[in-house]
Amino acid sequence: MRPKKKTEDTAFPQHIPTEDEAEIMWFSKTPPSLEIPWAKFSEREIQAILKMHYKSIGFDVQWPHDEDPSHEKGIDLDCKDASGNRVILAIKKDPKTEDIVQLQELARNDAKQRIYVRIKRGTQKFEDETQRLTGLVEFWDSALLEQELNKSCLTLMLLV
């Protein structure tokens, strides 16, 4: 097995796939599809998982929702790569009509990539607003979330 790389942030070390993980990914091109039980995770836990993911693939990550929720401006996670490109995310397990304001704030941000992660489908009014904002905001369901987490092998780690 290869040793893990040392990083400055020991709370979120960069994950290097083990030989077994690498072999699974080489043969299948993705980790095994066993479905992560996202309904059992809290929104805060999903935010923490995404924070670990973006840190492990080289982003500097701020967590406005954790640090100062009253001034988050629709952003749960604010990620910046080495070139200064920003990826911002908002995470809701079960979006309601009152979450439209957060979605609109996210859409107005000037970040390069704006992502709204939702585990369940939202209310009809919320879904109508997602249609209006498609193109400004990427909408990820659990399948797209897992596809993204494959880049850092977190999908496999969450399944084991």
Q: Is residue 3 included in any domain, yes or no? A: no
Mean pLDDT of 17-27: 56
Provide the whole-model pTM.
Answer: 0.74
* Arithmetic mean of pLDDT over the chain: 81
**Confidence class for position 6, pLDDT limits 50, 70, 90:** very low
Of all residues in the chain, the percent with pLDDT exceeding 70 is 71
Residue 7 has pLDDT above 50, yes or no: no
For residue 91, the domain's CATH number is: 3.40.1350
Q: Decide if pLDDT at 67 tops 90.
A: no
Please tell me the predicted confidence (pLDDT) of residue 13. Answer: 42
DSSP string, the chain: -PPPPP-S-TTSPPP---HHHHHHHHHHSS-------GGGS-HHHHHHHHHHHHHHTT-EEE-HHHH-GGG-TT-SEEEE-TT--EEEEEEESS--GGGHHHHHHHHHS--SEEEEEESS---HHHHHHHHHHBTTBEEE-HHHHHHHHGGGTHHHHHH-
* 104 belongs to a structural domain: yes
Range from 17-31, 43-57, 61-75 carrying the lowest mean pLDDT: 17-31
pLDDT one-digit tens code per residue, 81-134: 999 999 999 999 999 999 999 999 999 999 999 999 999 999 999 999 999 999
pLDDT band at 151 (very low <50, low <70, confident <90, very high): confident
Domain range for 40 = 19-159
Domain membership of residue 10 (yes or no) is no
Q: Is residue 12 part of a domain?
A: no
Residue 122 lies in a domain: yes
- Answer whether residue 137 is part of any domain: yes
Task: Flag whether 108 is in a domain.
Answer: yes
Give me the mean pLDDT over the 46-73 stretch.
83
What total number of domains does the chain contain?
1
For residue 9, tell me if it sits in a domain.
no
pLDDT at residue 150, rounded to an integer: 87
